[in-house]
Amino acid sequence: MTTYTFEDFTPGRRFEFTARTLTAEEIIAFAQEFDPQPMHIDEAAGRASILGGLAASGWHTSAVMMRMLYDAYIRHSASEGSPGVDRMEWKRPVLAGDTLCGHSEVLDARVSRSRPQIGIVRMRAEVTNQCGEIVAICDYINMMRLAEKGADHAHG
């Protein structure tokens, strides 16, 4: 399996997510632990809220997005993690039974001045639902090691 290094993260490059359906059970389990507001743990309360149904906590949507990023490229990369996120927008409710998909795209990339073996890659993840609507957008930074000199690495 290819290991993506900094050199592979060229502006515009996209990594596609694998679709995943979020169940009521998952939504309730996450919310009971981290965000037990009524619209996240109770179907009737969700329907009565502006969200219109049993809706995932925004932080649950973000955690699912993280798993999609991991499966799409991080697991096969020289990732050194992330110092944070510039923007995390929850644009539409994610309701029980929704099927999420999407992609992440490289915005720009540069080598770290203080650590020249590490690159700083800015990326934008867009999570969509089964109607093609964007439910979440996240602009984040991913630190990536550069290819080791002399290593047998196929550049992207």
Residues that bind its own copies (CB under 8 A): 30, 33-37, 39, 50-51, 57-60, 62-64, 66-67, 70, 74-75, 79-91
12 or 19: CB nearest its own copies: 19
Nearest partner of 104 among 89, 88, 124, 85, judged by Cα: 124
Q: How far is the CB of 137 from its own copies (least distance, A)?
A: 8
Q: How far is the CB of 152 from its own copies (least distance, A)?
A: 22
65 or 147: CB nearest its own copies: 65
CA–centroid distance for 56 within its chain: 15
59 or 124: CB nearest its own copies: 59
Q: Which residue has the tokens 């929850």?
A: 90
| Burial (CB count within 10 angstroms: exposed 0-12, middle 13-18, buried 19+), residue 42 | middle
